[in-house]
Amino acid sequence: MQHISFKLISIVNDVIGLFYPRICGGCDAHLMKHEQNLCLNCLHHLPKTYYWDYEVNPTEQLFWGKLKVDAACGFLHFGKDSIVQQLMHRFKYKRKTGIGRELGRQFAIILKDKQWFTDVDVIVPIPLHPSKQLRRGYNQSDYFAEGISEVYDVPVRRKAMKRVVATDSQTRKSRYDRSENVEEVFQVSDLNAIRGKNVLLVDDVITTGATLEAAGNRLLEAGAAKLYIAVIAVS
Ligand SMILES: [Zn+2]
């Protein structure tokens, strides 16, 4: 059912795109023919972290002592009132799913070029709780995963894991509450998709890393051979 509704949303988006002019998700400028979702000017001005060039990067350091992750990387700095904040808002709440897909693609092009995640087998987006996904109509991380998948040519397994506990709106929680809150939130629902595989777990924003830590530990318990993490924005 979830699969059908996801496909339906994609088809509806494609149809809408036929009738409305293509505009940049960042600055609302009309896109040139060769541009997709974001204009070249916005792409150029994204505040990239350049973590892919670090020996040890701050995204990986968040997991030290908590999660056995083989490599982790964040793409952009999430500054208040920045273009990234605007992009993420439109991506998460305004159905501008093309933004997430485009950011996934742009990130993956860099990572692949820098020899990151060379042996990844499957991509797993952090799932939303079904009730939340129903309200929003989509899971934003699915689109980020799709963009990465296009570049790496490996499948997205969006039903490999599910969120079984609906946490309160995490934005209103303190850091302490948040880490307490996510312990048993996730379950691996398709063991065959995970066991023995090199898994790339993806999410939109990372703050404390507690959500990714909880999900990552479930993937390792389910027998993932290697665990990688990629996030769009580092808060
Ligand atoms: Zn733009």
| List of domains in the chain | 46-234 (3.40.50.2020)
Least confident window among 8-12, 38-42, 162-166: 8-12
Ligand 1 centroid, distance to 82 Cα (angstroms): 13
Q: 182, 166 in Cβ contact below 8 A?
A: no
pTM of the predicted structure, to 2 decimals = 0.85
Least confident window among 183-187, 204-208, 220-224: 183-187
User: Other C-beta atoms within 10 Å of 22: how many?
Assistant: 13
- pLDDT at residue 61, rounded to an integer: 97
The stretch 110-127 carries a mean pLDDT of 97
Ligand 1 centroid, distance to 42 Cα (angstroms): 4
pLDDT band at 176; cut points 50, 70, 90 = very low
- pLDDT of 2 over the 70 cut: no
Ligand 1 centroid, distance to 53 Cα (angstroms): 26
The residue ranking higher by pLDDT, 106 or 174, is 106
DSSP the chain: -HHHHHHHHHHHHHHHHHHS--B-TTT-PBPPTT-BSB-HHHHHT--B--GGG-SS-HHHHTTTTT---SEEEEEEE--TTSHHHHHHHHHHHS--HHHHHHHHHHHHHHHHHTTTTTT--EEEEPPPPHHHHHHHSS-HHHHHHHHHHHHHT--B-TTSEEE-S----GGGS-HHHHHHHTTT-EEE--HHHHTT-EEEEEEEEESSSHHHHHHHHHHHHTT-SEEEEEEEEE-
- pLDDT at residue 145, rounded to an integer: 98
> Tens digit of pLDDT for each residue in 148-162?
999 999 999 999 999
Ligand 1 centroid, distance to 84 Cα (angstroms): 12
CA separation (Å) from 140 to 16, 66, 113?
Answer: 18, 26, 25
- pLDDT of 179 over the 80 cut: no
The stretch 199-219 carries a mean pLDDT of 96
- pLDDT at residue 154, rounded to an integer: 97
Ligand 1 centroid, distance to 112 Cα (angstroms): 24
- pLDDT at residue 182, rounded to an integer: 59
The stretch 84-96 carries a mean pLDDT of 91
The residue ranking higher by pLDDT, 170 or 192, is 192
Q: How far apart are alpha carbons 97 and 33 in whole angstroms?
A: 19
- pLDDT at residue 174, rounded to an integer: 45
- pLDDT of 29 over the 70 cut: yes
- pLDDT at residue 4, rounded to an integer: 66
Ligand 1 centroid, distance to 44 Cα (angstroms): 9
The stretch 85-106 carries a mean pLDDT of 93
Ligand 1 centroid, distance to 120 Cα (angstroms): 31
Ligand 1 centroid, distance to 74 Cα (angstroms): 21
Ligand 1 centroid, distance to 154 Cα (angstroms): 29
- pLDDT at residue 181, rounded to an integer: 53
- pLDDT at residue 7, rounded to an integer: 72
The stretch 46-55 carries a mean pLDDT of 96
- pLDDT at residue 177, rounded to an integer: 47
Ligand 1 centroid, distance to 94 Cα (angstroms): 17
Ligand 1 centroid, distance to 16 Cα (angstroms): 20
Please give the biggest Cα pair distance in the chain.
51
